[in-house]
Amino acid sequence: MLVHSDGSKSYLQWRAASAVLFLLLGALLAIFFVSDVFFVRSIVVRGNDLMPREEIFAYSDIADFHMFWLDPAQIRENILRSPSVADVVVQLGWPPDLITILVEERQPAMIWSDAGAESWIDLQGRTMPARAEMPHVPRVNLVKDDYAGSMPSAEDFNADMVLGALQLIERLPASANLDFHPVHGLGWTNEQGWQVWMGRGSASETSEKLQMYEVLVADLNNRAVDIAELNIANPDAPFYRVLWER
């Protein structure tokens, strides 16, 4: 009686091939989950002129993550926690560049200075750390005098107040800066040497106060008085103090 072994031989070959394939797949998975190149140790960052890459990496909160665990939406949300970041695009790739971050940074509209400690404020009124010298950005200096109450900070500015401050800055001499008093709000020393205060008004209120300022300056210049302070913080009750009057 003859026994054909072709079928059993093919079966054994198939089993051997399957075993080899299983081992190869297992080895491949082991490489994926064990090899250091598939874990996030650093990121590629583009578009960051002011924020260091290390700070953006820290905000991403993905150090030592495996590439299979990365969620671009979550990474974007993490980085947007930074007050210095306006927008983020997250791109996933393969080693060596597992993560590429495209950053749009917020730009300062004003510099808030409290005895030399500086913060930046953008057009939306968002406060962020000062990261570089910005000589072209207008400065607002906190004036404390002998005031004993709680002091304002950069966080007190909203978008409308920023616009109002920028309106005032346009009226200042090139070398002048704005002051900010806890009671009187925004102000400056004008060309006549008067201390002018405008309050904390919005952009629309500032426009009205500037018109009133022009009228008051024209009137006071026609008098034989030396003005120390002109206060228009309350446009319904403006007042001035004189150094002397004839």
Spans of all domains in the chain: 37-105, 110-245
Average the pLDDT over 173-202 and give the result: 88
Q: Is residue 209 over pLDDT 80?
A: yes
Higher pLDDT, 62 or 22: 62
The residue among 180, 179, 125 whose CA lies nearest residue 157 is 125
Convert the pLDDT of each residue in 97-106 to its tens digit. Answer: 889 999 999 9
Which letter does DSSP use for residue 39 in this model? B
Average the pLDDT over 21-48 and give the result: 73
Q: Is 94 within 8 Å of 113 (Cβ atoms)?
A: no
Higher pLDDT, 58 or 224: 58
Note if the pTM is more than 0.75. Answer: yes
Q: Is residue 3 over pLDDT 60?
A: no
CA 218 to CA 163: how far, in whole Å?
26
The sign one gets for the Cα dihedral 17, 18, 24, 28 is positive
Q: Which amino acid is at 223?
A: R
Average the pLDDT over 215-238 and give the result: 89
| pLDDT at position 246 | 52
pLDDT band at 1 (very low <50, low <70, confident <90, very high): very low
CA 125 to CA 191: how far, in whole Å?
29
Same CATH fold assignment for domains 37-105 and 110-245: no
CA 152 to CA 150: how far, in whole Å?
7
Average the pLDDT over 83-91 and give the result: 97
Q: Which amino acid is at 137?
A: V
CATH number of this structure's domain 37-105: 3.10.20
The residue among 84, 125, 77 whose CA lies nearest residue 107 is 84
| pLDDT at position 204 | 85
CATH of 110-245, one of 2.60.40, 3.30.160, 1.25.40, 3.40.50: 3.40.50
pLDDT band at 27 (very low <50, low <70, confident <90, very high): low
The residue among 232, 233, 231, 234 whose CA lies nearest residue 242 is 231
| pLDDT at position 134 | 92
Average the pLDDT over 129-151 and give the result: 90
Q: Is 176 within 8 Å of 166 (Cβ atoms)?
A: no
| pLDDT at position 92 | 93
| pLDDT at position 66 | 84
| pLDDT at position 8 | 67
% of the chain surpassing 90 pLDDT: 56
